[in-house]
Structure 1
Amino acid sequence: MSDARWELVEPVLAAWRAERSRHALDIGRPPEHDLREILNAILYVDRTGVLWRYLPHDFPPWEAVYGYFAKWQKDCVFAQLNGLLRELTRQKEGRRASPSACVIDAQSVKTSTSVPAASQGTDAGKKIMGSKRSIVTDTLGLLLAVLVTAASVQGSAAGARRLGQVAADHPTVRKVWVDGGYRKHFVEHAATLGVDLEIVQRTPGTRGFTPIAKRWAVERTYGWLMVHRRLARDYESLPTRSEAIIQLAMTDLMARRLTDENTISGATPQSTTNYRIRDETSEENDL
């Protein structure tokens, strides 16, 4: 976490610690670990995919890091950070803080051996044994809601739950785009929420990769998430922890956007100008 990015998230984490301290039994005891170092360690796991136990010794003990991660997930800190930075990012892009339209899609991924069999399933269409990530994004590809279930759960069922949450949290949403896999009852459910649902399908006869109108935004979001190696598979034993990892990845991405920082990759150092050119080129390719 650079100083600029830390300034964006520090107020939320500091308020969380202050609230926890008010209800703690050992009032007056100074915190043992720095919040910034804890967040750095959690981001390291998210980005590199390393096991919690294999955290470098430069970070606090892995037990403390995972303990904070579990507490922040339970107290919805990651969801709060995601919501705050999403509004700031939308305003920076010249949009209103609250979206008026969204896109829903699902992704099935394999799970590791640490995931309980009870929370796994088989996606018959994609022939994947694992879990399913159902996300809702705005038209910029920023995360509005996420739900992790067994891969056997139909996208319509998971999407209905997420759309209900989005409608409650963002009353301004009046339009949603989905693919052809969503059933008729999902369309009816959207109508009851006062949301106009449109099914966007690939043009018949199209071959190869072709961005689909409106839906390309959520597909690009999955591409952003896959940069974080922890999300290459589902390694979390609880679905709620998997959702927290996704929220954390999006928080990291939006913090970089707000501070105009690029993710440096590759072993050969390059100038700042080269990074800027490469980033603009990648955005043009995405569009």
Structure 2
Amino acid sequence: MAERRAYPSDLSDARWELVEPVLSAWRTERRRRALNIGRPPEHELREIMNAILYVDRTGVQWRYLPHDFPPWETVYGYFAKWQKDGVFVQLNGLLRELVRQKEGLNAQPSACVIDAQSVKTSASVPAAGQGTDAAKKIVGRKRSIVTDTLGLLLAVLVTAASVQDSDAGRILIEQVAAEHPAVRKTWVDGGYRRHLVEHAAALGIDMEIVQRNPRTRGFTPLPKRWTVERTYGWLMLHRRLARDYETLPARSEAMIHLAMTDLMARRLTGVLARPHKATPTADPGMKQREKTTS
């Protein structure tokens, strides 16, 4: 087959070197466990990943993938398998550690930020998986995320928009305590209830509620919490996340992990999504806070 022209979302050689070991190890393990190995794979892993990134970045439906990619059924099949086997979570964790080390921080975070975002859904999302965020007047789903002080993803939970922030936050804080035992501090907004603060304290995490000044008008970045708001801005660079198009919440979470993997791979290799903008850095005060708690 003739080599196709590259799309802007394609992995560069440098970015492919970052993700290739994880994907190759996955394929090797799958073939080892198979009862009948059969014929060798028809499509290269790099082309499969490029096609998935194309969907994530452009928002195109799977069936509308350009014909110079592998068949959409094959691409979606790999996406579903990688989501189920935790490949996107693994990639996100690996690249996050590399970015943190590049920024002069420990590989494991000691502080984090939690926030939630309600988004509208497409017609492909079952009504049973949706809800109404009464405060924001949005019918759809809610994305609750935990980031470190650089704004890099630690955990994500997609639920119906009707789920209370504190209920999703309880699940996330327990996940953070289990998977990131070095975390000792977290910041949240006023939407999280006092009982969650007590639950976090029982897990050994100091939760601080950062309140918005009621006299402030318009948008004002809140101390400590602005980094997680910026992360939502980064995610919106990927049009597949402009609203929730995924039938299953787990697939929505995979799309978020994929977007962050793409962002971190670009950051590590010096290729930004928008080259005219400088590489965003962490709040110096928050970085110092992490170093003192490590």
Q: Distance in 2 between matches of 1:159 and 1:262?
A: 31
| Counterpart AA for 2:162 | S
The match for 2:34 among 11, 20, 24 is 24
Aligned to 2:277: 279
| Counterpart AA for 2:277 | D
CA deviation map 1:199-249 (0-9, x unaligned): 001123111221110000000000000110000010000000000000000
For the pair 1:223 / 2:221, whether they are aligned, the reply is: no
For the pair 1:10 / 2:20, whether they are aligned, the reply is: yes
Q: Please state whether the residue corresponding to 1:42 is helix, strand or coil.
A: helix
Q: Distance in 1 between matches of 2:109 and 2:236?
A: 24
Q: Distance in 1 between matches of 2:134 and 2:239?
A: 25
Percent identical residues: 78
Q: Distance in 2 between matches of 1:128 and 1:208?
A: 20
| Residues 15 and 269, structure 2, Cα contact 8 Å, conserved in 1 | yes
Aligned to 2:179: 169
Q: Distance in 2 between matches of 1:209 and 1:107?
A: 16
The match for 1:94 among 104, 111, 115 is 104
Aligned to 1:269: none
Aligned to 1:42: 52
Q: What is the root-mean-square deviation of aligned Cα atoms in Å?
A: 1.3
Give the drift of 1:263. Answer: 2.1
Gaps of 5+ in 1: 265-274
For the pair 1:182 / 2:180, whether they are aligned, the reply is: no
The match for 2:263 among 237, 242, 253 is 253
CA deviation map 1:95-143 (0-9, x unaligned): 1000000000000000001000111000000010000000000000000
Q: Distance in 2 between matches of 1:168 and 1:108?
A: 26
Aligned to 1:237: 247
Give the drift of 1:28. Answer: 4.9
**Larger mean Cα displacement after TM superposition, 21-30 or 215-224:** 21-30
Q: What is the TM-score normalised by the length of structure 1?
A: 0.93
Q: Please state whether the residue corresponding to 1:186 is helix, strand or coil.
A: helix
For the pair 1:107 / 2:113, whether they are aligned, the reply is: no
Aligned pairs (5 A) from 1:41-60 = 41-60=51-70
Q: Please state whether the residue corresponding to 1:279 is helix, strand or coil.
A: coil
Q: Distance in 1 between matches of 2:273 and 2:134?
A: 36
Q: What is the TM-score normalised by the length of structure 2?
A: 0.91
Q: Distance in 1 between matches of 2:35 and 2:12?
A: 33
| Counterpart AA for 1:225 | L
Q: Distance in 1 between matches of 2:214 and 2:160?
A: 31
Structure 1 stretches of 4+ with a deviation exceeding 4 A read none
| Residues 119 and 244, structure 2, Cα contact 8 Å, conserved in 1 | yes
| Counterpart AA for 1:86 | R
| Residues 263 and 272, structure 2, Cα contact 8 Å, conserved in 1 | no
Give the drift of 1:259. Answer: 0.3
Q: Distance in 2 between matches of 1:263 and 1:101?
A: 27
Q: Distance in 2 between matches of 1:77 and 1:64?
A: 17
CA deviation map 1:10-41 (0-9, x unaligned): 00000000000011133252111110000000
Q: How many residues align?
A: 273
Give the drift of 1:185. Answer: 1.2
